[in-house]
Amino acid sequence: MKKQKRTMDIILIFIAVFLLAFIVIILVLYYITGAIPDTLCTCVFTVCGGECGIMGWIKTTKERQRERQCELEDRKYQEDMEKQNDNSFEKKHVRIGGSCGFFH
């Protein structure tokens, strides 16, 4: 079975390749001129870091929502099971009591 690539995975791969290429180009530029554009480097790493931070926040939020949904489903299932057990317990007592003549 093939694993489906998600948008965030593609974006992270793109950012990694971009930063690697950027670093190589900046190193070549430094070798040729003896200086690098500091503002450009700061901005590029700030934007890429911000994008990765936002994607992390989105993923964390999605996981929390999924966890909360599972928790609510588990709680509802547990309540349904308790109601079902209570009903079957009451039916057994009514049947037993009714057969002994306690309930008319």
Look at residue 95 and tell me whether its pLDDT is greater than 70: no
Is residue 99 situated within a structural domain?
yes
Q: What is the pLDDT of residues 34-82, one digit of tens each?
A: 999 999 999 999 999 999 999 999 989 988 998 888 888 888 888 888 8
Please state, in angstroms and as integers, the Cα–Cα distance from residue 30 to each residue in 34, 35, 55, 76, following that order: 5, 5, 32, 63
pLDDT of residue 1: 52
pLDDT of residue 3: 66
Is residue 91 situated within a structural domain?
yes
| Total domains in the fold of the chain | 1
71: containing domain = 64-104
More confident residue, 104 or 61: 61
More confident residue, 85 or 43: 43
